[in-house]
Each structure stands twice: as C-alpha cells, then as structure tokens.
Amino acid sequence: KWRKSIAHVPQEPFLMNATIIENIAYGEKIEEIDFEKAIECCRAASIYKFINNSSKKMYTLVGERGINLSGGQAQRIAIARALYKNAQILILDEATSALDIKTENKIVKNLKNYHRKITIISISHRLSTISSYDRLIRISEGTIYKIEKSK
C-alpha cells in the first residue's frame, strides 16, 4: 500500500514499445483507461500539444525505450504517467533535465497549481528547477543544508 502511494520519474524513464496512452496508463487494460484523466495529466506535463499534433494522437507508438521521441518528450510522458497513477508522493529525479528552462518552469508551475494535494520531492542539479518549491534542501558531501528562501 505504501509503495502505491509513491510515483517516481527518473532522468531516463522506461517506456515500453507501445502507444503513448499505454505508456501513460501503464499496466491498465486499454478498455479500462480513463482517457479524460490521461489528457489532464498530459496537459499538466506539457506534452498534450505534441500528442494532439501527432498523426495517431494517443495511439502513436513510442518505440522501444521511447526511440521515436526526444528525451524531453519521453520525460514528459513519464511525468504524465506518474500523475495518472494519482500517487500522494511524486519523486522527480532529474525528471526535467532534457527540457529547456521555459518548458521545465511551465511543468513545475502546472504541478504546483494542478496537484496541490501531492508532495513533490524533486532532485535537480539546476537550482532554477526547484527555486519555486516550498522547501529547499541541499546535500553536499554527505551534509544536509536547509536553504533559506528570501522573501
């Protein structure tokens, strides 16, 4: 039960050789997928416009390990998958590293506004990625530092 309450998005997410929708609703039978929820998650992950412009929309094949996608597109599909899971805790481990700063900031803003009841733990080397979060912690050489935000 505890593990089901956590969703994790790694820097290089696993995508199976299937459609976008099957990768988002990972493990669900196609007839049981909540498409409205999936679209909502895609919007929050800033991938919906790309999907909507694809010839087969949600039924576009991503290829083995997402070979038919850019790194940023694969990361955004993985973020949509994590949101679709409806977990209470979302761990983003360099999950937006392949994105430009503008798209990354949009996703972070979407996550904060869209999923207010979710706890997000974001690991990043770019301070700009996490600067808008409520609490910041820096770990360096085994020491933990709380970063005080200026008001």
Torsion over CA: 111, 113, 115, 117 (sign): positive
pTM: 0.83
Please name which of 144, 151, 108 lies closest in space to residue 129, comparing C-alpha atoms.
108
pLDDT of 36 > 90? The answer is yes
* pLDDT at res. 150: 60
CA distances from 40 to 37, 44, 84, 110 (A): 5, 6, 9, 11
d(CA 87, CA 131): 23
d(CA 130, CA 135): 9
What pLDDT, in 10s, does the model give residues 64-116? 888 888 888 999 999 999 999 988 888 888 877 777 778 887 887 887 776 66
